[in-house]
Chains A and B, each alone.
Chain A
Amino acid sequence: MRKKFSLPLVGLILFGFISPFVFTNYISQITLLWLMVLFAVTWDILGGQMGYNSLGNITFFGIGMYVSAVFQISLFADVGQYTAAFGGDNTPFTDAQYFQGLIGGMALAAISCAIIAALLGRMFFGLRGAYFAIGTLGLALAVSEIIATWDWVGGGSGISMPVFPYEADQKSQMFYWLTFVLAISAFLFVRWLYSTRFGLAINSIRDDEDKAEAMGVHTFRHKAAAWTIAAFFLGISGALFGNMSGFIEPLEVAFPTITFGIFMVAMCLLGGKGTLWGPVVGAILFHVIKETTWTYLLGWQWIALGVIIVVNVVFFQQGIVGWMQEKWPEKFGIDVDDSMSIEPAKAATSAVKDNG
Chain B
Amino acid sequence: MTNIIEVSSVSKSFGGVVANHQISLNVPEGQITGLIGPNGSGKTTLFNSIVGYHPIDEGSIKFEGKEISKLVVQEIARLGMLRTFQQTRIYSNMNCIQNMLTSVPQRNASFFDMFKKYPPELTDKAEHLLEFVGLYQKRKLHSGDLSFGQQKLLEFAMALMNEPKVLLLDEPTAGINPTLINGLIDRLKKANTEFGITLFVIEHNMRVVMNLADNVYCLAHGEMLAHGKPDEIQNDQNVIDAYLGAH
CB distance from A166 to the nearest CB of B (A): 40
Within 8 A of A (CB), among B68-97: 72-74, 77-78, 82-83, 85, 89-95
- Asked whether, in the complex, the Cβ of A217 is within 8 Å of the Cβ of B94, the reply is no
Query: Please, which residues of chain B bring their CB within 8 A of the CB of A219?
Result: 74
Closest to B113 in A: A197
8 Å CB contact of A351 from B83, B104, B109, B134: B134
CA distance A215 to B145 in the complex (A): 21
CA distance A196 to B116 in the complex (A): 5
8 Å CB contact of A207 from B93, B140, B147, B150: B93
Query: Please, which residues of chain A bring their CB within 8 A of the CB of B107?
Result: 216
CA distance A201 to B109 in the complex (A): 13
- With A336-B140, A339-B137 in contact, is A200–B94 under 8 Å at CB? yes
- Asked whether, in the complex, the Cβ of B74 is within 8 Å of the Cβ of A351, the reply is no
8 Å CB contact of B150 from A203, A222, A344: A344
- Asked whether, in the complex, the Cβ of A204 is within 8 Å of the Cβ of B102, the reply is yes
Q: How many A-B residue contacts, CB cutoff 8 Å? A: 120
Chain B proximity mask over A304-341: 1 for CB below 8 Å, otherwise 0 = 00000000000000000000000000000011110110
8 Å CB contact of B93 from A201, A206, A212, A350: A206
CA distance A337 to B137 in the complex (A): 9
- Asked whether, in the complex, the Cβ of A214 is within 8 Å of the Cβ of B73, the reply is yes
- Asked whether, in the complex, the Cβ of A197 is within 8 Å of the Cβ of B118, the reply is yes
Closest to A347 in B: B137
CB distance from A222 to the nearest CB of B (A): 6
Closest to A216 in B: B77
- With A204-B91, A218-B109, A336-B140 in contact, is A342–B146 under 8 Å at CB? yes
- Asked whether, in the complex, the Cβ of A355 is within 8 Å of the Cβ of B91, the reply is no
A288 on the B face (CB < 8 A): no
CA distance A342 to B145 in the complex (A): 8
CB distance from A286 to the nearest CB of B (A): 24
CB distance from A315 to the nearest CB of B (A): 21
Closest to B145 in A: A342
Query: Please, which residues of chain A bring their CB within 8 A of the CB of B146?
Result: 342
CA distance A222 to B85 in the complex (A): 23
- Asked whether, in the complex, the Cβ of A340 is within 8 Å of the Cβ of B94, the reply is no
Query: Please, which residues of chain A bring their CB within 8 A of the CB of B118?
Result: 197
CB distance from B232 to the nearest CB of A (A): 33
CA distance A217 to B117 in the complex (A): 16
Query: Please, which residues of chain B bring their CB within 8 A of the CB of A342?
Result: 138, 141, 145-147
A81 on the B face (CB < 8 A): no
B interface residues, how many (CB within 8 angstroms): 48
CA distance A355 to B51 in the complex (A): 36
Please indicate which of the listed interface residues B91, B131, B140, B147 has the most CB atoms of chain A within 10 Å of its own CB. Answer: B91
- Asked whether, in the complex, the Cβ of B115 is within 8 Å of the Cβ of A216, the reply is no
B59 on the A face (CB < 8 A): no
- Asked whether, in the complex, the Cβ of B114 is within 8 Å of the Cβ of A211, the reply is no
CB distance from A50 to the nearest CB of B (A): 12
- Asked whether, in the complex, the Cβ of A218 is within 8 Å of the Cβ of B94, the reply is no
CB distance from A108 to the nearest CB of B (A): 23
- Asked whether, in the complex, the Cβ of B74 is within 8 Å of the Cβ of A216, the reply is yes
Query: Please, which residues of chain B bring their CB within 8 A of the CB of A196?
Result: 114-117
Chain A proximity mask over B93-124: 1 for CB below 8 Å, otherwise 0 = 11100110111111101010111111000000
- Asked whether, in the complex, the Cβ of B94 is within 8 Å of the Cβ of A216, the reply is no
CA distance A347 to B139 in the complex (A): 11
CB distance from A210 to the nearest CB of B (A): 7
Within 8 A of B (CB), among A153-186: none
- Asked whether, in the complex, the Cβ of A344 is within 8 Å of the Cβ of B106, the reply is no
CA distance A215 to B77 in the complex (A): 6
B173 on the A face (CB < 8 A): no
CB distance from B118 to the nearest CB of A (A): 6
CA distance A157 to B104 in the complex (A): 53
Chain B proximity mask over A204-241: 1 for CB below 8 Å, otherwise 0 = 10111011111111110110010000000000000000
CA distance A201 to B118 in the complex (A): 12
CA distance A196 to B102 in the complex (A): 11
List 6 A-B pairs, Cβ < 8 Å. Answer: A198-B115, A213-B72, A222-B114, A334-B140, A344-B150, A351-B131
Given contacts A206-B93, A340-B141, 19 further A-B contacts (CB under 8 A): A197-B104, A201-B102, A204-B91, A207-B90, A207-B92, A208-B89, A208-B91, A211-B85, A212-B102, A214-B83, A216-B74, A216-B105, A225-B114, A274-B93, A342-B141, A342-B147, A344-B150, A348-B134, A351-B136
B: which residues have CB within 8 A of A? 51, 72-74, 77-78, 82-83, 85, 89-95, 98-99, 101-107, 109, 111, 113-118, 131, 134, 136-141, 145-147, 150, 158, 162, 180
* Cβ-closest 8 pairs across A and B: A216-B77, A207-B91, A211-B89, A347-B137, A200-B102, A216-B78, A204-B102, A213-B73
